[in-house]
Amino acid sequence: MTSIRRYLTRAVLGLVLAGAIVAGAAAWLVTRHEMEEIFDAQLAQFGRILTAMLDIDMDASDYRELAERMSQPGHLARFYNMGDNIDPRAILPDSPDVQPRRYHHEERMLSLGFWNADGSPRMLSAEWNDSGPFPAPAHNGYRWVDYGGERWRVFSLFDSQHNVWVSTGLRSDFKQELANKILLGNSLPFLLIMPLLGMALWWVIRRGLRPIDRLSAEVARRYHQDLTRIEGTPPQELRGLRDSLNAFIERLRLTLERERRFTADAAHELRTPLAGLKVHIDNAGSAGDEEYRVSLDKAHSGIERLQRVVEQLLTLARVERDPPRRLEPVDLYPIATQLAGELWPLADQRRQQLEVSGCETLWVRAEPTELGVLIRNLVDNALRYTPDGGSVTLHLSRDEACATLSVLDNGPGVPEASLERITERFHRASHRTTGSGLGLAIVSELAQRQRATLSIVNRTPHGLAVRLSWPA
């Protein structure tokens, strides 16, 4: 669909035309049916009137005079006989006083006839003589008769008092012609007005779509850094689009603001270890052996911190860039024990205890790879902030409401004022370690992707408890 305006105009016009055709066809069928009933009633009424007007004393001259009156130009009515007293060869003679005349061209569609009781014709009008005598009736009521290449609707009635059959007939094409004239009379004005209707529809649709044009123009005029809300009161049908655009603009604004803050914080975090590293290398170049070793150790620590910041930045960028993956049933216990084994050397260097306790089987719905990154960051963060000789425990538990993974340490904990900001990027509760301030930010992002609830609280008397909970 290249143009909504063109599509709507064509669709509405097509529907109007289709509706008019269906309505016209229905009207034509209904009209034809109703006309059949009306004409049948008129034929019956006309037949009854003729029967009532018959006189017991009617003789050949009366029927001959009636035949003269019923003749039409080129189609002469004919008097046949009334029994044995009339010459059966008698036909209507040419009379200078009575010339056939047709007062309306539709008269050729109507006809009538009289038959004797034995079915022999007595008097037949106009076209009922063109191809020989019209077929005699055999019963009272309606019938269809094919005669002279035409189809006639005939009503017949036997008058026992006068011993005569009376029939009145109407050609079927008269009803067809009348129905067609009614259909044409109703359709022609509509066909003539169709061009004007099309122009009116185009104008109405164009006017109705103006709010879309205004909304498009407002968005197109914006500078690429203009992230203010779209104001105004569009029609009800466009409010959803406006609200969706405003929601998208707000998400984009938050994303760009977060990226700007992230870039500034990353530049600051990277500049600090790089500056310290340069100082320590410069000191090592002009120091004695002991001071040389101290400077190299400090330079090595700076390189480690710089490496960790870069690794965490790459991890966070990858997490935010990749779309959420499909969750599947995962057992937490094997992942927890494997990661504890991988991080054991780091704990052993500082004489820390690292253990896994609780349930030996704990199923949750998660993505295994991201879940491993999440738990690794939790345990690594706990080991870094727990003093030498401390302990870190991965505890797995389950109840009716949820399945929980807890990382418990006996370190110094976090100041209460910093608990709400602990998951912000580059926010560090303590500067006594070489952490980057990104570990818990990554944990928070991954917890949302895993549909897990993250909670961080201080332990009594000291330490920190970080819990991830999944619905049971």
- Domain extents for the chain? 22-180, 236-321, 328-471
Instruction: Give the pLDDT confidence of 402-455 residue by residue, as tens digits.
Output: 999 999 999 888 888 777 777 776 656 554 555 556 667 778 888 888 889 999
Q: Tell me which of 1.10.10.10, 1.10.287.130, 3.40.50.720, 3.30.70.1380 is the CATH number of domain 236-321.
A: 1.10.287.130
Amino acid at 270: L
| pLDDT tens digits along 3-30 | 777 788 888 888 888 887 887 778 778 8
The pTM assigned to this predicted structure is 0.45
SS (H, E, C) the chain: CCCHHHHHHHHHHHHHHHHHHHHHHHHHHHHHHHHHHHHHHHHHHHHHHHHHHCCCCCCHHHHHHHHHHHCECCECCEECCCCCCCCCCCCCCCCCCCCCCCCCHHHHHEEEEEEECCCCEEEECHHHHECECCCCCCCCEEEEEEECCEEEEEEEEEECCCCEEEEEEEEHHHHHHHHHHHHHHHHHHHHHHHHHHHHHHHHHHHHHCHHHHHHHHHHHCCCCCCCCCCCCCCCHHHHHHHHHHHHHHHHHHHHHHHHHHHHHHHHHHHHHHHHHHHHHHHHHHHCCHHHHHHHHHHHHHHHHHHHHHHHHHHHHHHHHHCCCCCCEEEEHHHHHHHHHHHHHHHHHHCCCEEEEEECCCCEEEECHHHHHHHHHHHHHHHHHHCCCCCEEEEEEEECCCEEEEEEEECCCCCCHHHHHHCCCCCCCCCCCCCCCCCHHHHHHHHHHHCCCEEEEEECCCCCEEEEEEEEC
pLDDT of 84 reads 43
Q: What is the mean pLDDT of the chain?
A: 79
Could you check whether the bond before residue 461 is cis, i.e. omega within 30 degrees of 0? yes
Banded model confidence at residue 465, pLDDT cuts 50, 70, 90:
very high
For range 179-203, the mean pLDDT: 78
Which tens digits make up the pLDDT trace of 335-356? 999 989 988 988 988 899 999 9
What value does the mean pLDDT take over residues 369-390? 87
**Can you tell me the mean pLDDT for 68-76?**
81
Angle at 425 between CA 419 and CA 429, to 5 degrees: 40
In the predicted structure, residue 159 carries a pLDDT above the cut 80? yes
User: What per-residue confidence (pLDDT) applies to 239?
Assistant: 78
pLDDT value at 129 more than 90 = no
Least confident range of 160-174, 192-206, 412-426, 433-447 = 433-447
How confident is the model at residue 165, as a pLDDT? 92
Shared fold status for 236-321 and 328-471 = no
CATH class label, 328-471: alpha beta
